[in-house]
Amino acid sequence: MNQKICALVVTYNRPQLLCECLTAIVNQSTSVSEIIILDNYSDEVTLSTLFNAQFIPQYTLETVVKGGVSQFEYVTNSANKIKIHYYRLPQNTGGAGGFNAGMRYFYQKTDCDFLWLMDDDSKPDLNALHELVVAYNKLSPLVSLGYICSQVRWIDDSPCRMASPKLLEYGGIDRYSESNPVIRVQNSSFVSLFIIRKVVNCIGLPYKEFFIWADDLEYTSRINKSYVSYVALKSIVVHHTKHNQATSLDAITESNFFKYKYGLRNELFFLRQNNKLRAFSFFIKKTFAILTSEISIFHRIKLLCALSSGFIFVPEIEFPNDI
């Protein structure tokens, strides 16, 4: 493939995982041309770790405090040159805001043809990108392609429950076989997503107002209203989460409570936009689950308010050239 690929990694205060992710990217059997590190205003330890690992040049105190962009040429062990953009935001905008800003930067500041995006706790196998490109070359002449995602595994090599794509199986081109190892998907996570540049312009950016959770569900579903998308099963990415389980009210703590508030609001908004009957059913089901949970009354009230706000939440789609 002569066309250029840019990787985008959104990070917040996970410097060790970030460096493992970046190391896996620069060592891919199919090389990327550029990497955007979108730093959501992490602590300075992230910058010092990146500097010590030679992923960014020397930084200033002004960059730490105010944010900014620096560029750096990274030379791999195989002598490939990769342009690295370190883009530090002046505040934490959550994963949704990070991907919004990073994708806008990709579109405005690079001329790359494809975007390969992921969270900082993703670790792609050596051939992960190669298999995405193989799938793209096979599928692009046949369908109007939106994106291709990777198969997501957990650290013990079992399927990752939180980040695996939701599949569609129709037969024909959608049916898996050794000669055609792809399956059509309804939606996917941002753990490893290979997107064609024109799709970003046509579909717009993820809702930054989501802040965290369900931004990937909404965005990949939005793409699939106009395009078709697939998982390339030979492209493997390991997702380094603490636990391999779906979200549950039983797992709420003081430190992650805010995620559940955003998640409930965002998912109700998403369902409202796509299927009002499912949205109402989701509201009833989650209301019952909250009321019968063992979390404190204070937290139950907060969650019910957050859930209800999904009925009036109205973010607007932004496009990469809007600003």
Write the pLDDT tens digit of every residue in 254-283. Answer: 989 999 999 999 999 999 998 899 999 999
**How confident is the model at residue 192, as a pLDDT?**
96
**How confident is the model at residue 162, as a pLDDT?**
83
pLDDT at 112 over 70: yes
| Strand 145-153 versus strand 193-196 pairing type | antiparallel
- Spatial CB neighbours of 199, under 8 Å, sequence gap ≥ 6: 146, 147, 223, 227
Size of the chain in residues: 323
Q: Taking a C-beta distance cutoff of 8 angstroms, is the pair 152, 189 a contact?
A: yes
**How confident is the model at residue 245, as a pLDDT?**
77
> Average model confidence (pLDDT) for the chain?
93
| Strand 228-239 versus strand 122-124 pairing type | antiparallel
Closest CA to 92 of 247, 218, 258: 258
Distance CA 243, CA 251 (A): 11
**How confident is the model at residue 176, as a pLDDT?**
54
Reported confidence tier of residue 249, pLDDT bands at 50, 70, 90: confident
Break the chain into its structural domains and give their ranges: 5-239, 249-309
Q: Which two tokens stand for residue 282?
A: 């989701």
Q: What is the CATH number of domain 5-239?
A: 3.90.550.60
Closest CA to 150 of 304, 13, 25, 2: 25
- DSSP 3-state of 78: coil
| Strand 68-75 versus strand 34-39 pairing type | unpaired
Record the pTM. Answer: 0.94
Q: Which residue has the tokens 């059913």?
A: 281
DSSP string for 216-277? HHHHHHHHTTTSEEEEEEEEEEEE--S--S---GGG--TTTHHHHHHHHHHHHHHHHHH-HH
Mean pLDDT, to the nearest integer, of 307-321? 96
Greatest C-alpha distance within the chain: 59
**How confident is the model at residue 158, as a pLDDT?**
86
Question: Which of 91-105, 243-257, 284-298 comes out lowest in average pLDDT?
Answer: 243-257
pLDDT at 172 over 80: no
Report the range out of 131-145, 161-175, 179-193 with the highest average pLDDT: 131-145
Residue bearing the bigger pLDDT, 154 or 242:
154
**How confident is the model at residue 180, as a pLDDT?**
65
The letter for the amino acid at 194 is F
Question: Which of 58-72, 195-209, 221-235 comes out lowest in average pLDDT?
Answer: 58-72
pLDDT at 28 over 70: yes
The letter for the amino acid at 287 is T
Residue bearing the bigger pLDDT, 80 or 170:
80
Distance CA 296, CA 236 (A): 40
